[in-house]
Every structure is written in C-alpha cells, then in structure tokens.
Amino acid sequence: MKDTLFAAKVGIVNYGAGNLKSVENAFKAIGVQAKLITTPSELETLTHLVLPGQGEFGDCASKLKESGFFPAILEWIAADKPFLGICVGYQLLFEGSDESPDTPGLGVFRGQVKRFSQTNLKVPHMGWNAIKASQPSDPIWQGLEPNPYFYYVHSYYPEAMDETHIACTTQYGDTFHGAVKRGRLFATQFHPEKSQDAGLQLLRNFILTTSSHSA
C-alpha cells in the first residue's frame, strides 16, 4: 500500500479558485506526492488529477477556461485516468448551474446544479454531515465507519440524472447527491481535505483504488 501511495503523482489544478494548499497538504499527510499545476502540459507527468474549487460556479468555470484546462480535463476524463473533483470542482462536471444560468459546465455528467430549496435552512450549508453510501462495499469507502461524517461548505449541489453514478447521498433538508463515481473518476461536494481522519482515509482510498494495478 505504501509503495502505491508513494508512486502516485498528484496534480492539483491551480486556476485561482480552490482551497489549494489544504488539498496539497492533505495528500502529503498520507505520503502522496502532490503539487499545484498551472498549465495543461504538466498533466503528462501525473498519475492522478485533482480539480478543487471554491466560490461562484460561473467565475470558476471562466477561470478554468482561461487557464486552458477545459479541453485537457475532458480528455483526461475521457481516457478514464484517475480524477478527483472537490466542491465546485465537483459541480463543474455537470451541464450547468442555477447559480450561473448562462455558463455551461464541463458536461461530463448529465444534470444541473441546484440551490437548496427549503427556506427554513441556513444556507450556505456549513459543517459536518453524515453520508449514506450507495454501495457501502465499494472500496472507496473502506476503512470508514458506516455513514461517516464529512465537512461541507456550499449553497448549491448537483442533481445527477443517471442514478448509477451516485456514490452517496446526504440529508440537509433536501436529500442531495454528495458524490459521484464512474470508472476512475470520483467527485465530492464535501471537502475531504477538511474532514480530518475520515477525509484522509478517503483520499488514501482514492489513490489505492484508482492506481493502475488496482483499478
């Protein structure tokens, strides 16, 4: 396991929208080489790609396009290379968002990013919430407690049209899709890098289950 973690080379897309240092430090905490990347040409040296994101959907999408990463990320995902999306980096995988109706996302998954509909809720949703895994036996959840808690900070969430891609759900007034999984792609609305031991275990699982010998 340690050899697999050490062999991984993780690139974290630095496009001016994300909790970049925390993500980098979380990978380093589990013994994984991780670095911030600013150009698509750097993908050639990587085994795993991470797209974080914080802020407004439209602004993040614009910055990602300006940086030249839009087509590079689509090509990476199309080749089923290991990919992790976090927060807005998860939302950007969908067709669009109610937050920025005129801005298209990457369109990797069919579906729209919605705002919490219940007006009695405090929005943004901020804090720890349990998740319910769609397939608890999936190796991505190994080593975690049943219905583990992860840290969320968001006002919007994706609504995937294909239920087979939903990796977990979370209850906060609405029951929303907390993560998606397809092949070597895994993406979460919650922040693994802010979720202490559970988050580090999930990042460890992501590397181990998507590396070439185990995928």
Write the CATH number for 31: 3.40.50.880
- The whole-angstrom separation of Cα 201 and Cα 211 is 15
Domain count of the chain?
1
pTM of the model: 0.95
Q: Is residue 137 part of a domain?
A: yes
103 and 96 in contact (C-beta within 8 Å)?
Answer: yes
Residue 4 CB contacts under 8 Å (≥ 6 apart), including other chains: 207, 208, 211, 213, 214
Q: Is 193 a catalytic residue?
A: yes
Q: What is the pLDDT of residue 212?
A: 72
Catalytic-role residue among 48, 87, 165, 177: 87
Q: Is residue 147 part of a domain?
A: yes
In angstroms, how far is the first alpha carbon of the chain from the final one? 14
Q: What is the dihedral of CA 106, 81, 35, 4, to 10 degrees?
A: 150
* DSSP, res 201: H
Sign of the dihedral through C-alpha 118, 123, 129, 134: positive
Q: Is residue 215 part of a domain?
A: no
Count of residues in the chain: 215
**Environment class of residue 122 by beta-carbon count within 10 Å: exposed (0-12), middle (13-18) or buried (19+)?**
exposed
- The whole-angstrom separation of Cα 113 and Cα 101 is 10
Q: What is the pLDDT of residue 62?
A: 95
Q: Is 87 a catalytic residue?
A: yes
Q: What is the pLDDT of residue 214?
A: 44
Which mean pLDDT values do the consecutive 10-residue runs of the chain (215 residues) have?
Answer: 85 87 96 96 97 93 94 97 97 97 97 90 94 98 97 96 97 95 98 97 97 59
The full DSSP string for 37-48 is: E-SGGGGGG-SE
86 and 50 in contact (C-beta within 8 Å)?
Answer: yes
Task: Show the domain range for 48.
Answer: 2-210
Q: Is 191 a catalytic residue?
A: yes
Catalytic-role residue among 99, 165, 168, 193: 193
- The whole-angstrom separation of Cα 132 and Cα 129 is 10
Tokens encoding 16: 């001016």
